[in-house]
Amino acid sequence: MTTFFLDTSALVKQYRQELGTARVQALFDDDTNALSISELSLVELTSAFVRLGNQNEITQETMNEALGKFDADTENRFTVIELRGDLIRQARALVAQHKLRALDALQLASVLAVQSESPTFVSADERLIQAAQANGLNTLNPVSSA
């Protein structure tokens, strides 16, 4: 079994066709893969789809369908890493160490919490990929793999 931790920049590709979607879908399609996300992604992914709807890039129906699929995956497919005080403290240090944005640091702190499972960190954010690699994580950018 291979463990993958998806940040929101990668996760959105499962629910919306864009560059990198095929690579993310391949991770989902392999039932032997264990998929983890941060609790933060529950808010970030919803925000991304609401923003797309507000900008008329997707219809209300498309947004509802995507969020429904995400909710089902959250219940049945993902291990959700809870945001705890220790992760928030670690994220603060990661912001200073790697000059990350706050939410990116929380994503990185979440994957570092399951580092003992040797996860591959999946992100379409190159700066975040570099910070993850600096912290000893295997990484996958679905955009550069597309």
Is the pLDDT at 141 greater than 70? The verdict is yes
* Cα Dmax for the chain: 42
Is the pLDDT at 89 greater than 70? The verdict is yes
Rounded to an integer, the average pLDDT of 60-85 is 97
Contact 130, 112 (CB under 8 A): no
Side by side, which strands form the sheet with 2-6? Answer: 78-81, 33-38, 2-6, 120-122, 138-140
The domains located in the chain, with CATH, are 2-140 (3.40.50.1010)
Is the pLDDT at 145 greater than 60? The verdict is no
Rounded to an integer, the average pLDDT of 41-49 is 98
**Full-model pTM:** 0.95
Q: Give the span between the Cα atoms of 86 and 127, in whole angstroms.
A: 23
Q: Give the span between the Cα atoms of 145 and 25, in whole angstroms.
A: 12
Rounded to an integer, the average pLDDT of 29-37 is 97
Instruction: Give the pLDDT confidence of 100-131 residue by residue, as tens digits.
Output: 999 999 999 999 999 989 999 999 999 999 99
> pLDDT value at position 1?
83
> pLDDT value at position 75?
97
Question: Which SS3 state, helix, strand or coil, does residue 58 take?
Answer: coil
